[in-house]
Structure 1
Amino acid sequence: MSGMRYLSTRGGAERLTFEEAVLRGLAPNGGLYIPVNLPSIPADWSTRWRNLSFPALSFEILSLFIPPTAEEGGILPADLKALLEKSYSEFRDPKTTPLKKLTSSESGSAQEWCLELWHGPTFAFKDVALQTLGNLFEYFLQRRNAGKAEGERQKLTVVGATSGDTGSAAIAGLRSKADISIFILHPKGRVSPIQEAQMTTVLDDNVHNLAVEGTFDDCQDVVKALFSDAQFNAKHRLGAINSINFARILAQIVYYFSAWFQLLQQTGEASPDVEFVVPTGNFGDILAGYYAKRMGLPITNLVVATNENDILQRFWSTGAYEKEATGHAGASQTEPAQGSSDGAQAGTAKDVSGVKATLSPAMDILVSSNFERLLWYIASETASGSDREADAGKQLAQWMKELKEQGRFQVDKNQLEVARRDFEAERVSDKETKETILRYFNAPPSYLIDPHTAVGFCAANRLSARRAGAKHQVVLSTAHPAKFSEAVTSSLESAGASFDFERDVLPKEMHGLLEKERRVRDVKLADADSQSAPKVERLVEATKKVIELEAGKVSAAQGKGTESV
């Protein structure tokens, strides 16, 4: 794969190496990086990879995307193997992402399985990718800085937005790493208490938590604005840890293959007929499944499971991608978001941005960043010109322009048919989420799930009852239930005294977490000098002030500045 390069979804002549794409994260034109050519898995993959460990399987898959030499912006095979072994060394299960067979009282013809993705350091699926991404950042910087004095060393300022789990996983992956500072923006009062504590109790000097007066979409818009500011980006050498960074998607492809092999081993079937049901917010997790299928993994179907922030479900229903507030008949009243200090912020049906605060806050997203990558493939396949690559870039740029200026865009009939070929989408209310948590707890073998996983199982149950689908349904479980104590506890109120959250659910690693010392800085609209500017512009200005302040402290301590990454 020596010729592997990466291009922007929004067009342009730029072609980056893997190293450049990882360190840059977001393209200057606002696009996301994707491989110029998507590799196929080898003909003997199903036998050669069958009994590999998760790190070894990761090596085989990532090697298809990463050249084997430094000159090509890649990684030496021995180094990549060591990096991946290190990335998964702290996972608590020998399978890394174990597949569990379940029985549901409402199962149809499909056999249900749960792919547990939360056995990493912070008990969330984000650990799978962010442990790897943190080590990739470290590896590339160490290579660039070899033999350099302090004043000549290249630095990286990692900036990311989180709706809960990305932040703690990114911090766990980057804390105390040399030449890297990390700034994590989270919407104040809109993450669960455990999620907030996992982030803000990390006191390493290179870790900075920012509580933003706004929604996750606001945080995401601030991050994108910082990356699009060429002068600020060059000055602070920004790096991306959100799933806009392709390395995160790449790492997540692996657990689809791992699940398929585990299914094969547990069923004895030669080629399991399987669909994956994925709780979906920013579209990165399910996009990895799409890549796995495109590469040759025999996936029958991919199901987008959304909460009441249902822009994706509406797209698959109508072909319109629009920010308008949801208002479907039958939608339950929105529960307070886990983490709201007084319920006021989350108790309303929606805020001014149109985002509804739900029991599954990591999916409380209006615009799914990674959806742009899928749209590029749809545009490329349906392009009529001779240069599909260029035509797709132009189409994406136009769609994103319409979304920014008009709040919506519409794909045509052929494009929607292409989207429906690999995906279905289901919307799940908070009421259904709570009912699903209780149902799986009560039904043998009494399996406790978090609210995001419950969205996935509810969607799976509904599809299985409505139509004949794949023989096996694998639901991706994105977080340990302990991270959402209020949602889980309120769902199980009728379970009786036999249930005790701290005794039965809370991992020992989380005991006492809420009482630990914290460090967090508020980012307020009032902090901006230009109070007449739009909301996001004011938040961008206020965030820049914090980064400049912390960068100034580092410069004062270390002296001379550093060259650009």
Structure 2
Amino acid sequence: MKYISTRGQISPIGFIDSVLMGLADDGGLLVPDHIPQLSDATLKQWQHLSYPDLALEIFSLFVDNEIPRADLKKLVDDSYATFRHEDVTPVRKLDDGLYVLELFHGPTFAFKDVALQFLGNLYSYISGKTDSIIHILGATSGDTGASAIEGVRGKEGIRICILHPHQKVSKVQELQMTTVDDSNVLNLAVNGTFDDCQRIIKELFADVSFKHQYHLRAINSINIARILAQTVYYFYAYFQLANKGQADKVNFSVPTGNFGDIFAGFLAQKMGLPINKLILATNENNILARFVNEGVYQPGAFRGTHSPSMDIQVASNFERYLFYLYGEDPATVTSLMAQFKAEGRIVIPEDVLKRVQTDFAAYSVDNEDCLNTISKYHEKHDYLLDPHTACGVAASDRLTANGEVTVALSTAHPAKFDEAIRLRNISQTYPEQIQSLFDKPQFQMVVDGSNEEIKKKLVTFF
């Protein structure tokens, strides 16, 4: 297995080099040079595997023996031993035809832990085996930062800097990042939005000389290892339903802002997982839903919502989907991304839009609908949804047809977003790990959202 760029201007590289490169040196995103095809027999063999054993099988397809199987198994086992539930990502029935896939049982109570516990251990392994310098630079709309920091804090040979939009994440998200006082961790609160943070990250990684001089490594979902790790829970959830006799017409409803989580589902489907429908759920920052429904990819006015981790206008993984939408043609992708940079929009023709609409259904959930969904399921089932999960459930309620079963991805524990929960007069008890954060001092620097300002901080830190 080799990895290539969506823009076609780098030579194929191996798995470890792709992890270290993060953003492709030509400005594109790395993808596998082919997608493994799984037979029905293989899917049947995997149906009763534990989560770590399933992850091992899937990772093995993409690592291609660059990491000995025994070492890979230890990486996987160590990564998922930190989760609080024996199933790692359990599936829970909420209603007739609706299940939730609970992805929040990791150390920071967010779905990002599923990939970042593994990626943190993988970086540590690579550093030790290759004597590589690992300087991680990432941006977060709330959850990635805490998960990434938790994955590498205190690890020998690794330093991490995380950018987050100042005062635009939940209080718990902020505390999870900024109460960490390890010497290898730097938190920068950027005056701006997450899109500003993400733009800075991509532009610094695109500055190849700076990237190589300071050994920058990616932790965001521009790193292909993140996507590969997230495919696992689609398989696992499908198998759990199959074991219950619910394998016909299974949809997945995915709250997404950066397109990484739902792209992992798209990849799982292309590998052969028989997903019926991928439902893309956005909040009022709905560039992705508008693209699926109208064929126009164009940022709108930024809106602060009750689901801040999805307050994103430019989805960093969208380019990977364009690569497959246009038949793995890097020249077309390069042209479209240049058009987007110059004009701020991409418009696709009607025939291409029809292909998009065979891949995805999409729904944009407004703030009131999000809160109504939280109230509805709390009253009906005594189950508390966080506002991001509520977007996925609201989209499922509207786009699941009779006879279909939908798995809504539950991306975070509701305790991380109590500000929204309290708006419906619902009280909750914080897990002890979260409650203890409020008594700790914070460590962060507030900075302007310019590349030069961030560069200065990085040069001093790294």
Tell me the residue number matched to 2:399: 463
Alignment of 1:107-506 (within 5 A): 111-145=97-131, 154-265=132-243, 267-269=244-246, 271-323=247-299, 325=300, 354-380=301-327, 389=328, 392-443=329-380, 445-464=381-400, 468=401, 471-491=404-424, 493=425, 500-501=427-428, 505-506=429-430
**Whole-angstrom CA distance in 2 between matches of 1:37 and 1:500:** 49
Q: CA deviation at 1:139?
A: 1.0
CA 229–485 in structure 1, closer or farther in 2 if over 3 Å, else same: same
Do the aligned residues in 2 keep the contact of 1:156 with 1:236 (CA within 8 Å)? no
Structure 2 gaps, min length 5: none
- What SS does the aligned partner of 1:355 have? coil
- What SS does the aligned partner of 2:61 have? coil
- What SS does the aligned partner of 1:63 have? helix
Tell me the residue number matched to 1:28: 25
Tell me the residue number matched to 2:455: 544
**Whole-angstrom CA distance in 2 between matches of 1:170 and 1:138:** 13
Tell me the residue number matched to 2:46: 49
Structure 1: 4+ residue segments shifted above 6 A: none
Do the aligned residues in 2 keep the contact of 1:274 with 1:470 (CA within 8 Å)? no
The TM-score normalised by the length of structure 1 is: 0.80
- What SS does the aligned partner of 1:454 have? helix
- What SS does the aligned partner of 2:137 have? strand
**Whole-angstrom CA distance in 1 between matches of 2:263 and 2:430:** 31
Q: CA deviation at 1:470?
A: 5.2
Determine which of 508, 512, 522 is the counterpart of 2:436: 512
The TM-score normalised by the length of structure 2 is: 0.98
**Whole-angstrom CA distance in 2 between matches of 1:479 and 1:357:** 18
**Whole-angstrom CA distance in 2 between matches of 1:221 and 1:212:** 12
**Whole-angstrom CA distance in 1 between matches of 2:184 and 2:383:** 38
Do the aligned residues in 2 keep the contact of 1:160 with 1:185 (CA within 8 Å)? yes
> How many residues are aligned here?
462
Question: In the alignment, residue 70 of structure 2 is paired with which amino acid?
Answer: A
Q: CA deviation at 1:47?
A: 2.6
**Whole-angstrom CA distance in 2 between matches of 1:283 and 1:489:** 28
Alignment of 1:11-90 (within 5 A): 11-68=8-65, 74-90=66-82
**Whole-angstrom CA distance in 1 between matches of 2:419 and 2:175:** 15
Q: CA deviation at 1:469?
A: 5.2
Q: CA deviation at 1:268?
A: 2.6
Question: In the alignment, residue 453 of structure 2 is paired with which amino acid?
Answer: A
Deviations 1:38-81 (A, max 9, x none): 0012442233112211110000111111111xxxxx10000000
Do the aligned residues in 2 keep the contact of 1:300 with 1:470 (CA within 8 Å)? no
Q: CA deviation at 1:414?
A: 2.2
Do the aligned residues in 2 keep the contact of 1:441 with 1:447 (CA within 8 Å)? yes
Deviations 1:237-279 (A, max 9, x none): 11000000000000000000100111122x234x332000000
- What SS does the aligned partner of 1:512 have? helix
- What SS does the aligned partner of 1:189 have? coil
- What SS does the aligned partner of 2:189 have? strand
- What SS does the aligned partner of 1:367 have? coil
Question: In the alignment, residue 460 of structure 1 is paired with which amino acid?
Answer: S
Question: In the alignment, residue 268 of structure 1 is paired with which amino acid?
Answer: G
Question: In the alignment, residue 318 of structure 1 is paired with which amino acid?
Answer: E
Deviations 1:122-144 (A, max 9, x none): 00000000001111111111111
- What SS does the aligned partner of 2:371 have? helix
Question: In the alignment, residue 127 of structure 2 is paired with which amino acid?
Answer: L
Deviations 1:460-510 (A, max 9, x none): 11123xxx355211100000000001101112x2xxxxx532xxx311111
Root-mean-square deviation (CA), in Å? 1.2
- What SS does the aligned partner of 1:132 have? helix
Tell me the residue number matched to 1:9: 6
Deviations 1:360-414 (A, max 9, x none): 000000011111111100111xxxxxxxx4xx11111111111111110111222
**Whole-angstrom CA distance in 2 between matches of 1:427 and 1:139:** 40
Do the aligned residues in 1 keep the contact of 2:277 with 2:360 (CA within 8 Å)? yes
**Whole-angstrom CA distance in 2 between matches of 1:459 and 1:303:** 7
**Whole-angstrom CA distance in 2 between matches of 1:235 and 1:136:** 22
- What SS does the aligned partner of 2:63 have? coil
In percent, how many aligned pairs have the same letter? 48
Whose radius of gyration is greater, 1 or 2?
Answer: 1
Q: CA deviation at 1:416?
A: 1.3
Do the aligned residues in 1 keep the contact of 2:10 with 2:26 (CA within 8 Å)? no
- What SS does the aligned partner of 1:44 have? helix
**Whole-angstrom CA distance in 1 between matches of 2:372 and 2:105:** 25
**Whole-angstrom CA distance in 1 between matches of 2:454 and 2:272:** 43
**Whole-angstrom CA distance in 2 between matches of 1:159 and 1:500:** 36
Question: In the alignment, residue 245 of structure 2 is paired with which amino acid?
Answer: G
Question: In the alignment, residue 22 of structure 1 is paired with which amino acid?
Answer: V
Do the aligned residues in 2 keep the contact of 1:263 with 1:272 (CA within 8 Å)? no
- What SS does the aligned partner of 1:287 have? helix
Do the aligned residues in 2 keep the contact of 1:260 with 1:272 (CA within 8 Å)? no
Do the aligned residues in 2 keep the contact of 1:158 with 1:241 (CA within 8 Å)? yes
Structure 1 gaps, min length 5: 69-73, 104-109, 146-153, 326-353, 381-388, 494-498, 526-538, 552-565
Tell me the residue number matched to 1:556: none
CA 469–423 in structure 1, closer or farther in 2 if over 3 Å, else same: farther
Determine which of 76, 91, 95 is the counterpart of 1:99: 91
Do the aligned residues in 1 keep the contact of 2:279 with 2:399 (CA within 8 Å)? no
Q: Which moved more, 1:207-216 or 1:224-233?
A: 224-233
